[in-house]
Amino acid sequence: MKKGDHLFLVDGSGYIFRAYHALPPLNRKSDGLPIGAVLGFCNMVWKLTQDARNTDVGIVPTHFAVIFDYSSKTFRNELYAEYKANRTAPPEDLIPQFGLIRQATRAFNLPCIEMDGFEADDLIATYARLACDVGADTTIISSDKDLMQLVGPTVSMYDPMKDRQIGVPEVIEKWGVPPEKMIDLQALTGDSIDNVPGVPGIGPKTAAQLIEQFGDLDTLLARASEIKQDKRRQSIIDNAEKARISRELVRLKNDVPLVDGLDDFALQPPNGPKLISFLKALEFSSLTRRVAEATGAEPNEIEATRITVQTGAEAHGPDLDALVSGSLEGEARAQRPEGTQPSVTPSRAEGATPATLAKSRAEAAVAAKIDRSKYECIRDIATLQAWVAEAREAGTVAFRTETTSLDPMLAELVGFSLAIRPGRAAYVPIAHRSSEGDLLGGGRSPNQVSFDEALAAIGPLLIDPSVLKIGHNVKYDWLLLHRLGLDIAPFDDTMLISYVLDAGNGSHAFETLAERWLGHAVIPFKDVVGSGRNLVTFDFVEIERATTYATEGSDLAMRLWRVLKPRLVANGLTSVYERLERPLVPVLARMEGRGISVDRQMLSRLSGELAQRAAALEDEIYTVAGERFTIGSPKQLGDILFGRMGLPGGSKTKSGQWSTTAQILEELAAEGYELPRKIVDWRQLTKLKSTYTDALPDYIHPETKRVHTSYALASTPTGRISSSEPNLQNIPIRTAEGRRIRTAFIAEKGNKLISADYSQIELRVLAHIADIPQLTQAFADGVDIHAMTASEMFGVPVEGMPSEVRRRAKAINFGIIYGISAFGLANQLSIPREEAGDYIKRYFERFPGIRDYMEQTKASCRDKGYVETIFGRRAHYPEIRSSNPQHRAFNERAAINAPIQGSAADIIRRAMIRMDAALAEAKLSARMLLQVHDELVFEAPEEEVEATLPVVREVMAGAAMPAVNLAVPLQVDARAADNWDEAH
């Protein structure tokens, strides 16, 4: 073990007692063996070892051990015979679980540590101290106050029941004393459960106050006569010796002679078959499924371990804990875990490691034939119920809906398909209609399960926590079914799995993935519903045709999942998927479903005004130009300006036409030409009109009267989400004209809109990633970052700095984030390329760490083909190896930008994932409506606004924690108003 490593020590004995009392009792179905606490233990260990970023600890352990009490007789009994003397026997149905929990530990391939004469707490204290000695961090998995004395800079605790980390501040908050004073505090208060005497009449509050007053126990005892309260003073004087004994009882021994060293605790990957074998024996179906998914093992092919439960005197050890230590059959009871030999080996060609499994699955998938003739069409409720039962038995089912619209807010359910395993798939038509014989085309096709019956049959499966639903772009189905009152869970999304694996490597569309991974061309949707004037909604598609199309969809989704999910494990990306990607689906679906209010009248008035002003400008333009032409045609405009009128032409576009960008026209306007200014103004007006004032009202939903955007989770290589139909991430803000459109986004009556945005999040992320002292200091001090940059670069004091100097520094800062080039900076600042090059040179002299970051990022991307965010998300740029210098340079800039943009995107994702629970916890009814990259927009009742603002700020500002402890603070500005413009 070395510096930077992280040791997890689970207080196994403490956990089992707590889990037994906190969790609902549970018995093994087949024979009634009590297993509730063991399940709790297994779930916790799985979570901690598999995806530690999923917990409040937020750290992946490098070393891991579970510590148990061995015997109730320890050295403490020699100090004080009564120690733990009043301990009662554990409940009947807990007794067999002591042994099972040790078996579980071994099944997880984890060290199972205990020692005669010492409590688990002493072993934990000793290992934590050893870890500290080599510079490693320790997290103790326990919430026992007896262990809090160990908390310090390198040691923290984690309460697995409450998913809460306990550090120095938490100890102080709870007990009123810092961890190092916990021993003195406990010496005074004593402990009735362990029969530690303490001082009668002194509880935690008084003890904390006394320690605060006197500093420590010895001083307190020496100066007890100074205590004012008569009874208290007397009690302390009388019981001084008891307090001293108590102190020795609660003081943990951190020099226990150990058998196992820290290096024996290096965390091993789980052995899927071995673990599943154990979990199956205890009939933990849900966890078995999760473990199977994560390890890529095939549970159906693994036999359950035969478990023996020893409860009598034949078991070894003098104490109850040990009395009930059962063991895996045929396995000697060991102090240490067995090697990684699986007790059951996987059959067939399934690989033993995630990587080989991923490979074999991929090969098998391409080789497999897809036989559409085997697809079934379910026409009656009994058959559907049989399929649902089969799906429940299987534990995984691919599911997809067929509807009348690509927009889940408008779509009506027409049918759905299921796939239980490759080739075993069916379609359930429920609302197909026939156009034959009826000119209005309203006839319901015969032999369909009724809508209500079908939903009643499939609904329980969709929300069954032990059945994994597989889909592609689940957000669509989730929102559709959410409208029908069903929230799908748990689920996997092949689109998102592909995105996590391959962001930057092409499309994640279903068709693309089926082709790429299964070598199969899907039936094009167009071939089913037609196009142009022949386009029909899905309810008018013939059921036979619909069956083939829809069933193939589920079948392929199942096959795709079987290929992609093991790749996730093999690439170590499970936690990115489960932490950053999948949980966002319900969050975004709900946001889309809520929509936002837009003032139709206001937009209409604005549209009329814009039309008038544009028309007036058109007349002026024709007059100045001397002819009528299509102003909106860059080709015609370029020919008139630079051809016929002979204005000094700037550059040409790649297709050889005159470029007429706003920048060029602005420059011409500055030189005194009349027409370019008018064109720029006309473009602004018509842009605002066509894209916003005219288009937005058409998106107002007929029933909700609100605008519902659609968020794309898998459309950017960096991890940002995008918004479309309508795009609410590009509503104008920079110009006064544009902001008027923003004022049309309003809160419902009695509510306010709250806008909360991160200040300079990308520069802060850059300061963290590249570790730039001046930048982290500047952000810590809260100074104007652009002015600081200017001051550093040009030697100009911040006080009285000319705005132009600051503007240039600001452009450079942005340029840095974008992977700066002299060409781009020169363009942005309208300065010669040489001058821009000088700026960049000077910048790198002042901030050499940035150049280092850029060079390292490029080199690493060339080497690996991808870059990573601080949370481990990957963005691929294979073209960075291109031989085309321009193309290569472009990819280099993108690769430099991606970790910055992507880390910021991950941070706000984390905030969004936590937000709803945080608001609910604070009993607030604010609803998250929009995300604009570094901004979240909420709607909240007026009277809750003041209480909502700090909750929103805290969740956003703390979003990186605890997975990443940023070197800079995150600043969040939040405001409420009646409309979006004033709130922002």
Partner DNA sequence: AGGTTGACATA
Partner DNA sequence: GTATGTCAACCTT
Which tokens hold the place of 916? 């709803």
Residue 786 near DNA by CB under 7 A: no
Residue that the structure tokens 């943990």 belong to = 252
d(CA 972, CA 984): 12
Do residues 115 and 255 lie in contact, with contact meaning Cβ atoms separated by under 8 Å? Answer: no
Residue 505 near DNA by CB under 7 A: no
Of the listed pieces 216-224, 422-430, 515-523, 625-633, which binds DNA according to CB under 7 A?
625-633
CA-based nearest residue to 400, from 390, 415, 385, 388: 415
Subset of 729-748 contacting DNA (CB under 7 A): 729-735, 738
Cβ closest to DNA, residue 295 vs residue 760: 760
DSSP string, 548-574: HHHHHHHHHHHHHHHHHHHHHHHTT-H
Residue choice 239, 897, 903, 948 for contact with DNA (CB under 7 A)? 897
d(CA 842, CA 816): 13
Cβ closest to DNA, residue 403 vs residue 684: 684
Residue 552 near DNA by CB under 7 A: no
Subset of 347-376 contacting DNA (CB under 7 A): none
Least distance CB 482 / DNA (angstroms)? 22
Alpha helices in 108-167 (DSSP H): 120-133
Residue choice 630, 795, 797, 800 for contact with DNA (CB under 7 A)? 630
d(CA 264, CA 113): 11
Least distance CB 843 / DNA (angstroms)? 10
Cβ closest to DNA, residue 47 vs residue 739: 739
Least distance CB 664 / DNA (angstroms)? 8
Residue choice 712, 796, 918, 961 for contact with DNA (CB under 7 A)? 712
Least distance CB 838 / DNA (angstroms)? 14
Residue 537 near DNA by CB under 7 A: no
Peptide bond into 962 cis (omega under 30): yes
Residue 790 near DNA by CB under 7 A: no
Least distance CB 861 / DNA (angstroms)? 12
Least distance CB 916 / DNA (angstroms)? 21
Residue 794 near DNA by CB under 7 A: no
Residue choice 655, 672, 797, 799 for contact with DNA (CB under 7 A)? 655
From residue 464, alpha-carbon distances to 467, 483, 487 in Å are 6, 18, 10
Of the listed pieces 6-14, 174-182, 312-320, 714-722, which binds DNA according to CB under 7 A?
714-722
Angle in degrees, CA 13, 14, 20, rounded to 5: 90
CB-based burial label for 204 (10 Å; 0-12, 13-18, 19+): middle
Cβ closest to DNA, residue 513 vs residue 685: 685
d(CA 666, CA 671): 9
Least distance CB 583 / DNA (angstroms)? 21
Subset of 810-839 contacting DNA (CB under 7 A): 811-812, 814-815, 818-821, 823-825, 827-828
Residues 6+ apart with CB under 8 A from 605: none
Residue choice 381, 695, 700, 831 for contact with DNA (CB under 7 A)? 695
Angle in degrees, CA 65, 15, 100, rounded to 5: 75
Least distance CB 984 / DNA (angstroms)? 7
* E strand spans, 392-457: 396-403, 413-421, 424-429, 433-434, 443-444
Least distance CB 816 / DNA (angstroms)? 7
Residue choice 14, 111, 717, 899 for contact with DNA (CB under 7 A)? 717
Do residues 80 and 249 lie in contact, with contact meaning Cβ atoms separated by under 8 Å? Answer: yes
Cβ closest to DNA, residue 210 vs residue 669: 669
Residues 6+ apart with CB under 8 A from 965: none
Residue choice 680, 850, 929, 960 for contact with DNA (CB under 7 A)? 680
Q: How many binding residues for DNA (CB under 7 A)?
A: 73
Residue 906 near DNA by CB under 7 A: no
Task: Give the HSE-up count for residue 787: Cα atoms under 13 Å, Cβ half-sphere.
Answer: 11
Least distance CB 810 / DNA (angstroms)? 9
308 - beta bridge partners? 327
Of the listed pieces 340-348, 394-402, 726-734, 765-773, which binds DNA according to CB under 7 A?
726-734
For 513, the enclosing helix (H) or strand (E) is helix 510-518
Do residues 56 and 158 lie in contact, with contact meaning Cβ atoms separated by under 8 Å? Answer: yes
920 to 939: interface string for DNA, x by CB under 7 A: ------------xxxx----
Subset of 425-444 contacting DNA (CB under 7 A): none
Cβ closest to DNA, residue 475 vs residue 893: 893
Do residues 65 and 110 lie in contact, with contact meaning Cβ atoms separated by under 8 Å? Answer: yes
Q: How is residue 644 annotated by DSSP?
A: I
> β-pairing, 424-429 with 413-421?
antiparallel
Least distance CB 412 / DNA (angstroms)? 22
Residue 154 near DNA by CB under 7 A: no
Least distance CB 439 / DNA (angstroms)? 22
Residue 408 near DNA by CB under 7 A: no
Do residues 366 and 519 lie in contact, with contact meaning Cβ atoms separated by under 8 Å? Answer: yes
Cβ closest to DNA, residue 84 vs residue 909: 909
Cβ closest to DNA, residue 360 vs residue 604: 604
Least distance CB 37 / DNA (angstroms)? 47
Residue type (1 letter), 340: T
Query: What b-and-e string marks burial along 669-700, b requiring 16 or more CB atoms within 10 Å of the CB?
Result: beeebebbbbbbbbbbbbebbebbbbebbebb
From residue 397, alpha-carbon distances to 490, 519, 546, 699 in Å are 11, 22, 20, 35
Subset of 517-536 contacting DNA (CB under 7 A): 531-533
> β-pairing, 137-141 with 164-166?
unpaired
Residue 405 near DNA by CB under 7 A: no
CA-based nearest residue to 949, from 924, 975, 930: 975
Residue choice 167, 272, 726, 872 for contact with DNA (CB under 7 A)? 726
Least distance CB 515 / DNA (angstroms)? 17
Least distance CB 731 / DNA (angstroms)? 6
Residue 490 near DNA by CB under 7 A: no
Cβ closest to DNA, residue 427 vs residue 538: 538
Cβ closest to DNA, residue 64 vs residue 499: 499
Q: How is residue 423 annotated by DSSP?
A: T
Cβ closest to DNA, residue 120 vs residue 606: 606
CA-based nearest residue to 583, from 475, 722, 728, 458: 475
CA-based nearest residue to 901, from 569, 493, 504: 504
Angle in degrees, CA 737, 738, 741, rounded to 5: 110
For 895, the enclosing helix (H) or strand (E) is helix 885-921
Cβ closest to DNA, residue 30 vs residue 655: 655
Subset of 632-651 contacting DNA (CB under 7 A): 632-636, 638
Least distance CB 284 / DNA (angstroms)? 41
Cβ closest to DNA, residue 348 vs residue 654: 654
Task: Specify the 3-state DSSP secondary structure of 937.
Answer: strand
Least distance CB 748 / DNA (angstroms)? 23
Least distance CB 426 / DNA (angstroms)? 30
Cβ closest to DNA, residue 105 vs residue 723: 723
Subset of 861-890 contacting DNA (CB under 7 A): 890
Residue choice 53, 582, 893, 909 for contact with DNA (CB under 7 A)? 893
Subset of 323-352 contacting DNA (CB under 7 A): none
Q: Phi first, then psi: what are they for 446, rounded to 5°?
A: -75, 170
